[in-house]
Chains A and B, each alone.
Chain A
């Protein structure tokens, strides 16, 4: 039950894009069409879980005994970036199909702020390893949800009469804020 609660809070109540306004660059940049945004969403899910699985043990079994907790920003960034790079090498060699499908997204999300935020929060919320994994899946699926929602709206926007001074990014932020307000309805879901 506890795990379910963590998952739902991460997915809906504290949606990473719509409630906490993280990862906005890829949110605006990669939602030109629905297919692309789904690809990006799953790539982020993959990397977030991977990053959590790597950074949680690193923090608890290396940084804490050495009392180097203050180094976590530096260490996590380095580890996540190298990890993604390693995965890219591996996919290119052994699973070229998946590599071609993920394509440009993998290197793009090496430094995605949502992923870094998840790894930090696993530490600050004092989650266990299992809880951390569930939390990271929830957050990244929340990201996927927000991406697909905006991509669908953008499809409609292409044929809508948007006032000239709102065209482009401004109207996207207004749309995002409106979806965000709708997501506030979820805040009563979990006590």
Chain B
């Protein structure tokens, strides 16, 4: 009986002493943590996507609060987050709300495949082993690495064999652009107006792409010649629009013989959702 009582008393005393010591030491060795870190952290989306280049939202919050990072690095949160973080830090920073656009239209019907690919079902493996699943070396591999890496449910494989961006969900974090072995995604501001070439084939031989893809850029340069604003130029075999001059007149879209020139505001962003594979 005595043993039990001693045990109980001893345990209680021990727990009490240790608890007291812990509490005391926590107060004594309390480290002042900048409350700004927590405030900034609360303003971030918390997806830990790493799009900012820091290890997670906590890392970025600390970097911002200590002045080591700019306030507009959180692409996932977009303009609203940049605004909130900038307000907390007391700086002005115009945020850009980006979305991801796929620069390839090579669906199963229009782009020739080299053959049936039965290897490891990732774009990266396919690209490594075959050079390209499609006859076009620059085209979309269509195995959905981008869909896997997207943390915001903004990408889905369409039945046509291409990933489709859901612009409502896309936050412009840029993970898909980084993951794609073909570098087919480009980040554009959500409110950008003007024309864009949805093709990345950089084979500068004229009309060479016709053999492999019906909607590829054939380097005819009709767009360059016909643009009334003279805002299109060929860069590395692909026509590039200069958006400060583009008036969205639509001449290039009409003239393009393979229809790879599209209007961003109507054809790309305003596009109807395509049926998605289950």
Contacts and interface: CB of A to CB of B under 8 A. Distances in A.
B91 interface: no
A178 interface: no
B6 interface: yes
Contact of A82 (B11, B21, B28, B31): B21
B21 A68 contact: no
Nearest to A86: B25
Contact of A66 (B6, B18, B28, B31): B6
Given A66-B6, A75-B14, A85 B31 contact: no
A74 interface: yes
Contact of A71 (B7, B26, B28): B7
B29 A90 contact: yes
Given A82-B22, A92-B31, A66 B14 contact: no
A66 B29 CA distance: 33
Contacts of B22: 82, 85-86
Contacts of A67: 3, 6
Interface in A79-113: 79, 82, 85-86, 89-90, 92-94
Interface string A14-35: 0000000000000000000000
Contacts of B14: 75, 78-79
Contacts of A94: 29
Interface string B5-31: 011001100110010011001101111
- Chain B interface bracket (under 10, 10 to 19, 20 to 34, 35 or more): 10 to 19
A92 B10 CA distance: 31
A87 to B, nearest CB: 10
Contacts of B25: 86, 89-90
A45 to B, nearest CB: 23
Contacts of B15: 78
Contact of B29 (A74, A82, A93): A93
Interface string B74-104: 0000000000000000000000000000000
A179 to B, nearest CB: 33
Interface in A44-65: none
Interface of B: 3, 6-7, 10-11, 14-15, 18, 21-22, 25-26, 28-31
27 contacts: A66-B6, A66-B10, A67-B3, A67-B6, A68-B6, A68-B7, A68-B10, A71-B7, A71-B10, A71-B11, A75-B14, A78-B14, A78-B15, A82-B18, A82-B21, A82-B22, A85-B22, A86-B21, A86-B22, A86-B25, A89-B26, A89-B28, A89-B29, A90-B25, A90-B29, A92-B29, A92-B31
